[in-house]
Structure 1
């Protein structure tokens, strides 16, 4: 099947979200002079506890700013791990600054995009904040590949809502049959793409087993495999 355009998810498809987040969590501690070693806490334990609170607080993103949510995650993590500091007010801003300029990529992204750009129009559909997603694409040095970057915050619809996919199609002036969408999330990417009858390629980066009812058009475990599918 010939496609006119290939649209990508961003986090954990083109950019490695976990690595970007890790850099921000630990980088903010360094910026603010908080030493885990002096407090007898390993990076692994700190990251695990932080992630637990961050997932909880992020559900309140309609009420608090990103920096406030991150600061709350640090506060709760410090309290649980008995870490003493008077510099907590700066941690949220430092984290957000580092994260927004972190462009750590998945393997082979540049090669894959370079080859695909010769034959296809490329775009991105991503959930998240404009202030984070656009600078991160720029930090990775891949912004020039994409004709459109659709960020959920900018249009007030997020994956898996069909509206964000319809919006991207309208910007590209294409029909669902002319597009292939690649993403790592069954909940957001697969569910959204299939609702609007866009062929979906599941980037199964962790080689997870799929429920029997989930049937993507394609499944890849490495982005390089995408070149074999469409070229």
Structure 2
């Protein structure tokens, strides 16, 4: 599905395309799931032996994770992960003496996870022939850059702007202006592609940058939400530019 909102070949004057990272280029949900369960395996914890399904464990884990990550200004990423596991294992009555290692093991697995969104490599290969490419991502430097390297896509991008590094996160206009300054381009010269209306669409709209909504779950849009383009598959981007 390609929804070419206000599309005209004569108006395609972009010099660069900026992408969101998580759930746009890399599948964050699958990468995180792999790290959460992989950490248990590395510490010899069997959910089956405790009569607990992966679904139940992940639900409890995500509940505590969302609570603890609100304290990310107080604790380190490894500490937050360790705290999340401690609370999850306690609630599910799973005992282990290896809890002190959980944070480091999680990040080691997560940072080397490379689950692409479908057709990412092909799309970037084609677009890189004609456009400058960049990334704006909310996240941690210790995670985002290694994950791009593990996925083998880091070489496509001229600039990678991570919120932790500059102190501003999407949808703050500052992070978009920072990326534009690094590229030495104006908003009119750039298309931004992302999966989040709350962070990507809202931020791009504030700086008057055209936005392509990667509607990966085919969600219905509110009437007031009007991205320049909307796609359901990344391959659809090639239809816009060819």
TM tier relative to shorter chain: over 0.9
Whole-Å Cα distance in 2 between the matches of residues 84 and 39 of structure 1?
A: 10
TM-score by length of 1: 0.98
The partner residue of 2:29 within 18, 28, 31 is: 18
1:76 maps to 87
Runs of 4+ in 1 over 4 A off after TM superposition: none
Contact kept, 8 Å, 1:57 with 1:69, in 2: the verdict is yes
The partner residue of 2:55 within 26, 44, 63 is: 44
1:35 counterpart = 2:35? no
Residue aligned with 2:199, SS = helix
How far apart are residue 182 of structure 1 and its match?
A: 0.3
Contact kept, 8 Å, 1:9 with 1:183, in 2: the verdict is yes
TM-score by length of 2: 0.94
Whole-Å Cα distance in 2 between the matches of residues 16 and 58 of structure 1?
A: 20
1:215 counterpart = 2:242? no
How well do the aligned residues superpose, as a CA RMSD in angstroms?
A: 0.8
Runs of 5+ consecutive residues of structure 1 not aligned to the other structure: none
Whole-Å Cα distance in 1 between the matches of residues 63 and 222 of structure 2?
A: 26
Whole-Å Cα distance in 2 between the matches of residues 146 and 12 of structure 1?
A: 17
2:74 maps to 63
Q: Looking at both structures, which has the greater relative contact order when contacts are Cα pairs under 8 Å and sequence separation is at least 6? A: 2
2:113 maps to 102
How far apart are residue 88 of structure 1 and its match?
A: 1.1
Whole-Å Cα distance in 1 between the matches of residues 76 and 222 of structure 2?
A: 36
How far apart are residue 230 of structure 1 and its match?
A: 2.0
How many residue pairs match? The answer is 231
Whole-Å Cα distance in 2 between the matches of residues 163 and 147 of structure 1?
A: 19
Alignment deviations for residues 39-94 of structure 1 (CA, whole Å, 9 cap, x no partner):
11111111111111111111110011111111111111112211121211111110
Residue aligned with 2:48, SS = coil
Give runs of aligned pairs for residues 179-218 of structure 1, distance below 5 A: 179-218=190-229
